[in-house]
Amino acid sequence: MTTGDEPIRVLVVEDDPVAADAHVMYVGRVPGFVAVGKAHTGAEARRALERTPVDLLLLDLHLPDAHGLQLARTLRAAGYHADVIAVTSARDLAVVREGVSLGVVQYVLKPFTFATLRDRLVRYAEFRAAAGEASGQAEVDRALATLRAPGPVALPKGLSGPTLERVTDALRGSEEGLTAAALAETVGISRITARRYLEHLVDAGRAGRSPQYGQVGRPELVYRWAREHPR
């Protein structure tokens, strides 16, 4: 297990090579995490665990040689205690219940965006960071609650969650910031709509804005993600 400032070591287990590469890239973009390898089958995952210390499995449940929960069960029996974030397109709650006893701490439903995985990883890191003896039931409940995603937040009329997530990803990924026009082109929405989403992020304290002066005409507003904001 990692201690102090050491990163949380993640093994990506995903049979689709393109998806596996994307998940490795996603993990590498979250501070405090490092992808130490990837495997496309259960057998490859077991071999990787034999040679590399791992704290967390990002585990696709549908592998060509084994179901992900079967693999998790085998690993537990063999003495591997890495936690698991399960990746699946299945929505069977019986599978969710079974996974709890096998070290599955989170589920991510396919298809998902970087923002979704980042949220799960950040919450997992907060859960791992909790240390010491709980003072009572309330503190235990708070520690466990860090693993749960928050309930849906009501958005202003006309704004949608999926589009907001795309806007957020685009803004977070731009070091120089984006104007409403640049965001509109990137995300595929109108300039007016882009400005509404950007202003919503500013109002929520998740972004800032400043004027950008050109050679002629009125200055454009440039929006930048508030880097101290984790999500």
Say if residue 50's pLDDT is above 90: yes
- pLDDT (mean) for 33-39: 96
Q: In this model, does residue 230 exceed pLDDT 50?
A: no
Predicted confidence band of residue 160 (pLDDT cuts 50, 70, 90): confident
Give pLDDT, residue 88: 82
Instruction: Tell me how far CA of residue 218 lies from CA of 119, 182, 214, in angstroms.
Output: 38, 16, 8
Cis, peptide link before residue 111, omega less than 30° from 0: yes
Q: Give tens-digit pLDDT for 164-182.
A: 889 989 998 898 899 999 9
- Sequence-separated (6 or more) residues with CB below 8 Å from residue 225: 168, 171, 172, 174, 201, 206, 207
Longest dimension (CA), the chain: 69
* Strand 83-88 to 56-60 pairing: parallel
- Summary mean pLDDT of the chain: 83
Taking residues 27-50, what's their average pLDDT?
95
pLDDT of amino acid 101: 67
Interhelix angle 161-172/114-129, rounded to 10 degrees, is 80
Count CB neighbours of 124 within 10 A: 23
Q: What residues contact 218, with CB distance under 8 A and at least 6 apart?
A: none
Q: Does 187 have pLDDT greater than 70?
A: yes
pLDDT at 6 over 60: yes
Residue 177 region by backbone torsions, left for phi larger than 0, else alpha for psi between -120 and 50, else beta: left
Sequence-distant (6+) residues with CB within 8 A of 154 are none
Can you give the pLDDT at residue 148? Answer: 66
Can you tell me the distance from the alpha carbon of 231 to that of 28, in angstroms, rounded to the nearest whole number? 16
Is 151 a residue whose pLDDT tops 60?
Answer: no
Residue 1's contacts (CB-CB under 8 Å, 6 or more residues apart) are 55
Between 126 and 150, the more confident residue is: 126
69-98: average pLDDT:
82
Please report which confidence band the pLDDT of residue 90 belongs to, taking 50, 70 and 90 as the band edges: low
At how many degrees (to 10) do helices 161-172 and 191-203 cross? 80
